[in-house]
Amino acid sequence: MIFSRNKLCWCGSGKKYKHCHIDKDSIISRLKRKGYLVPPRYLIKTREQIAGIRKSAVLTKNILDMLDGKIKEGITTNQIDGWVYQYTIQNGGYPAPLNYKKYPKSTCTSLNNVICHGIPDETVLREGDIVNVDISTILDGYFSDASRMFTIGTITETAQQLVDCARECLYIGVNSVKPYQPINNIGNAIEPYAKAAGFSVVRDFGGHGIGLKFQEDPFVHHYQSPAKGVILLPGMVFTIEPMINQGSYRCKILNDGWTTITTDGGLSAQWEHTVLVTETGAEILTS
C-alpha cells in the first residue's frame, strides 16, 4: 500500500507520513529489492500497542519477582501455579496458558530434564533441583512472556554452569538484535557460546512473536542457520528464550501432549524475555 506524504502515518503516531515512516519505508523497499524477507506490516506494533504490551510485560515481570523467595524445597509445582493464578487475577490480568489449546494450568514448571511445557502437579521440589517457571500474561488484551530458572538449595556444579550458560545465551541473543538486520543473527550468536561451554541448543522450539496474540510470527531460531529469515524492523515484538541442554539437543514430547524432556535424561535450562526492536537494538520489556 502506498501512502501519501501528507496523510497521517500508518503507524498511528499522529504525524504526517513524510515526518514519520517515509524514510524507514524507503530502507525497507531497498531491502526488498535486494531479496531480503521483510515482515508484513501487521507485525510492526503501533505506539498504542507497544504501550499495552509494555504494561502486560511489567505484570509478567512482577509475577516472577513475586515468586522469588517462595520457590524452595518442599513446595509443589501446583503451589507455584496457584500463586501465579492468584497474583495475575488480583492485578487485572489473566494467565495466557490457561486453557490455551487445552493446556490445563496457568504456568509451565519445567523441572530438571524437562525442557519446556512442564505441567504443574503434586511433584515436590527437592534439594538439588532446577526448575524453569514460564509466565505468560494477558492484560487488557495484550500479551507478554518471560521465564526464569530457580535453583533449589545446593545444586551440582554442572547444573549451575548450565543455568548460568542459559542466562548468558539469552542476553547474547538480545544483544544481537539490530534493526534492518536478519533474524538469524540471534541464533548465530547464541549457539557458538553454548557449544563452547559444552552444552547444546534445542532446535524443536524457539522464540515467537507476541503482543496481540499469544503466538505470532516470526519464529526465532536459537541455533546457527544460514537461512537469514526476516529482517528485523523497529516495532517488532517477540520472545528470545534459548533452551540449553546438558547433553543432546534432541527432545521428546510425553503422552500428555505438552511435557517435553531431553532424550538422554540430561538437564535443561531456559531463560526468556519479551523484547521490542528499537531504532538502535532491542529493549527488554520484561526486564
C-alpha cell at 275: 523484547
- Residue 251 makes CB contacts below 8 A (sequence gap 6+) with 115, 202, 204, 205, 260, 261, 262, 263
pTM over 0.85: yes
What pLDDT was estimated at residue 19? 77
Work out the end-to-end distance of the chain between its first and last CA atoms, rounded to an integer number of angstroms: 36
For CATH 3.90.230.10, list the domain ranges present in the chain: 41-284
Contact of 238 with 222, CB cutoff 8 Å: no
Among residues 149, 70, 130, 137, the alpha carbon closest in space to that of 107 is found at 137
- Residue 102 makes CB contacts below 8 A (sequence gap 6+) with none
What pLDDT was estimated at residue 3? 63
What pLDDT was estimated at residue 48? 96
Query: Count of CB atoms within 10 A of residue 87's CB?
Result: 20
Q: Report CA 146 to chain centroid distance, whole Å.
A: 6
C-alpha cell at 224: 546457527
Distance (Å, rounded) from C-alpha 121 to C-alpha 81?
A: 9
What pLDDT was estimated at residue 217? 96
What pLDDT was estimated at residue 13? 76
C-alpha cell at 88: 495475575
C-alpha cell at 107: 504456568
Per-residue tens of pLDDT for the chain, all 287 residues: 456 788 888 777 788 877 777 777 777 777 777 777 889 989 999 999 999 999 999 999 999 999 998 999 999 999 999 999 999 999 999 999 999 999 999 999 999 999 999 999 999 999 999 999 999 999 999 999 999 999 999 999 999 999 999 999 999 999 999 999 999 999 999 999 999 999 999 999 999 999 999 999 999 999 999 989 999 999 999 999 999 999 999 999 999 999 999 999 999 999 999 999 999 999 999 99
What pLDDT was estimated at residue 2? 55
Give me the CATH code for the 41-284 domain, please: 3.90.230.10
Distance (Å, rounded) from C-alpha 250 to C-alpha 200?
A: 9
What pLDDT was estimated at residue 179? 95
Distance (Å, rounded) from C-alpha 52 to C-alpha 112?
A: 34
Backbone angles phi, psi at 138, to 5 degrees: -110, 125
